[in-house]
């Protein structure tokens, strides 16, 4: 089966998360092919992992007064400030030839990303162990986890995954540029913000920081090409189905755009590495 590509679009946080869930639901029902999706965020948005405690880890008043969006993901992991980045999502499963295990499926996607970065002269490495013990903040990019991508030991991509019925939704943030100060201003930190920023400078990188600035659309195309070449799969540009649009509209209005979801703390299982 050919994979569907949903081309790069910029949208608000509720819509971005609603579309990911709608596509995953459609895929699980057998009504959609495996899908590779790309998107950006307007306004810049702090997304938090399903299990995160916002009261303990996020400065909500700064998020609101600064004009940032806020959304809780269905995936686990820690907080990500989505701003100057390309966000990708992969919805697929074992029936598409993707390895079944959590780490194995992460590696499958990561290897395609590595190949895409090579097109821009970036030699990314796969991180081969779990989250470092020194990670003590609510920030996803504070430390890499299994099969996330680093350059010279600094994290470039942060990802998280939700699994059901031998299938998964994995979405991730690829940093085109990065501001530790912006992120620090939104989190409750155990250290002064200046110290946090200095630490992050040694732990995080971006394509611009590597001297390889790239437009999100160009990077998305390189990722599509890498999937096709590495795995011999056919990817075809497509659109959301009418049913996916209707479900995404309901989810955006009734779930991801509302405080009862975004400000709660999750209690059911989601899988994550970031």
Catalytic annotation, residues: 140
Query: Tokens representing 251?
Result: 């989810």
- Listed in sequence order, the residues at least 6 apart from 156 whose beta carbon sits closer than 8 Å to its beta carbon are 117, 122, 124, 149, 150, 174, 175, 204, 205, 206, 207
Task: Round to the nearest angstrom and report the end-to-end CA distance of the chain.
Answer: 30
């Amino acid at each position: 089966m050919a994979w569907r590509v949903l081309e790069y679009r910029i949208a608000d946080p509720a819509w971005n998360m609603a579309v990911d869930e709608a596509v995953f639901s459609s895929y699980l029902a057998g009504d959609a092919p495996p899908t590779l999706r790309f998107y950006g965020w307007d306004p810049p948005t702090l997304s938090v992992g399903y299990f995160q405690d916002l009261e303990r880890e996020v400065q909500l008043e700064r998020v609101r007064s600064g004009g940032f969006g806020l959304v809780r993901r269905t995936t686990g992991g820690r907080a990500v400030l989505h701003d100057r980045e390309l966000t990708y999502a992969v919805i697929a499963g074992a029936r598409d030839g993707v390895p079944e295990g959590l780490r194995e499926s992460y590696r499958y996607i990561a290897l395609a990303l590595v190949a895409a970065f090579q097109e821009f002269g970036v030699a990314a490495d796969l991180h081969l162990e779990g989250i470092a013990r020194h990670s003590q903040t609510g920030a996803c990019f504070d430390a890499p986890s299994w099969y996330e991508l680093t350059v010279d030991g600094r994290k470039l991509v942060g990802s998280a995954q939700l699994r059901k019925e031998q299938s998964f939704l994995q979405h991730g943030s690829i940093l085109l540029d990065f501001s530790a100060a912006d992120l620090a201003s939104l989190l409750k930190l155990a250290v002064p913000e200046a110290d946090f920023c200095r630490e992050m400078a040694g732990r995080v990188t971006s394509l611009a920081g590597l001297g390889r600035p790239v437009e999100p659309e160009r990077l998305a195309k390189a990722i599509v090409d890498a999937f096709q070449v590495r795995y011999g799969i056919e990817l075809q540009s497509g659109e959301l189905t009418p049913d996916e649009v209707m479900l995404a509209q309901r989810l955006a209005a009734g779930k991801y755009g509302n405080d009862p979801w975004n400000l709660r703390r999750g209690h059911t299982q989601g899988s994550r590495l970031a």
